[in-house]
Amino acid sequence: MDRKAEKILNRIVQNGYRRTNARQAIVTALVNSAGHITADDLADNVREKEPHIGRMTVYRTLELLCELGVVRPIFQGTGAAHYILMDNGGHHHLICNRCHNVMEFEECSAAMVMEKVAKQFNFHISSHLLELHGLCEECNEISSHQ
Ligand SMILES: [Zn+2]
Ligand SMILES: [Zn+2]
Ligand SMILES: [Zn+2]
């Protein structure tokens, strides 16, 4: 099994929940989705391989994973929420205002800001989502030629 999926399943167990075959299949499908998927698409992917797993089980497992801080829902424009993986503690997006392209980036220099805010509010941060909004390279070029 994928190391990332294994880590998430360990987290489920550490929090006192059972590692069921269904949860294993759902977490694997989630990791294979590269961490961006709607609940319905996830249910479809899981049920393609394991048709006996009900849609409700998939939704409930997503809820559990939200509670454990493994995923969180985000809304991009209209449509259903996407569930994104937060298992590394952070998730970072560049979002274009014009073409709505979402780009991922890994390197994060928000640590100092987070430390300061955490201290100020006596808040324990478990994960963060950083979204930077603006124009992508292509759209920026178009608007500078107009
Ligand atoms: Zn763009
Ligand atoms: Zn993302
Ligand atoms: Zn970060």
- pTM here? 0.81
pLDDT number for residue 146: 67
How many A from CA of 139 to the centre of ligand 1? Answer: 4
Q: What is the pLDDT of residues 67-120, one digit of tens each?
A: 998 999 988 777 889 999 987 788 999 999 999 888 988 888 888 899 999 999
pLDDT number for residue 96: 93
**Domains of the chain by residue range:** 3-85, 90-144
Q: Which element (helix H / strand E) includes 68?
A: none
| Record: fold of 3-85 | Arc Repressor Mutant, subunit A (1.10.10)
Interval 111-136 mean pLDDT: 92
* Ligand nearest to the backbone CA of 102: 2
- Which pLDDT band holds residue 36 (cuts at 50, 70, 90)? confident
Q: Which element (helix H / strand E) includes 51?
A: none
How many A from CA of 107 to the centre of ligand 1? Answer: 21
How many A from CA of 26 to the centre of ligand 2? Answer: 19
**C-alpha angle 118/124/127, rounded to 5°?**
95
One of 1.10.10.10, 3.30.1490.190, 3.40.50.300, 2.60.120.380 is the CATH number of 90-144, namely 3.30.1490.190
Distance of CA 98 to the CA centre of its chain: 23
* Ligand nearest to the backbone CA of 106: 3
How many A from CA of 26 to the centre of ligand 1? Answer: 33
How many A from CA of 128 to the centre of ligand 3? Answer: 6
Could you count the other beta carbons within 10 Å of the beta carbon of residue 53?
Answer: 20
